[in-house]
Amino acid sequence: MKGDNIAERFLDFGARIVRLVRALPDDRTGKHISDQLLRSGTSGGSNYEEARSAQSRRDFVHKVSLAAKEMREALYWVALVGRVESDIAEDIPALLDEGKELIAILMSSAKTAKHSQ
């Protein structure tokens, strides 16, 4: 099915976010970052899945744009973790790279859909 490989990449990204959140400290700061990161880092994929079953091109563009917005927020939190938690930061560069690639894919999809309306 069209988009399955991207959907799989979102699942992998979400799983990596879950593992990163589990490694954060159980203090006030860790809980705050964990909540924000878990929400934004996993919702990109769910928004992408909604976009795949959009009712119109306009709906598709909207949902893909929401997915990109959530991914940008997730990358902020991932970068913050990288700066604060040096002992768990080894996967951060690869996670940031994958997130940036997924955002580029989403934005390209939105642009293509807009131009074909």
List pLDDT tens digits, range 46-102. 999 999 999 999 999 999 999 999 999 999 999 999 999 878 878 899 999 999 999
CATH number of residue 33's parent domain: 1.20.1440.60
Total domain count, the chain:
1
Q: Give the structural domain span for 104.
A: 4-115
Evaluate whether 95 touches 20 at the Cβ level (below 8 Å).
yes
pTM above 0.85, yes or no: yes
Q: How many helices (H) and strands (E) does the chain have?
A: 4, 0
Tell me, rounded to whole angstroms, the distance of Cα 108 from its chain centroid: 15
For tokens 């880092």, the residue is: 41
- The first and second tokens of residue 76, run together, are 């902020």
Evaluate whether 64 touches 105 at the Cβ level (below 8 Å).
no
CA distances from residue 117 to 29, 57, 63, 109, 114 in whole angstroms, order as listed: 45, 7, 16, 13, 5
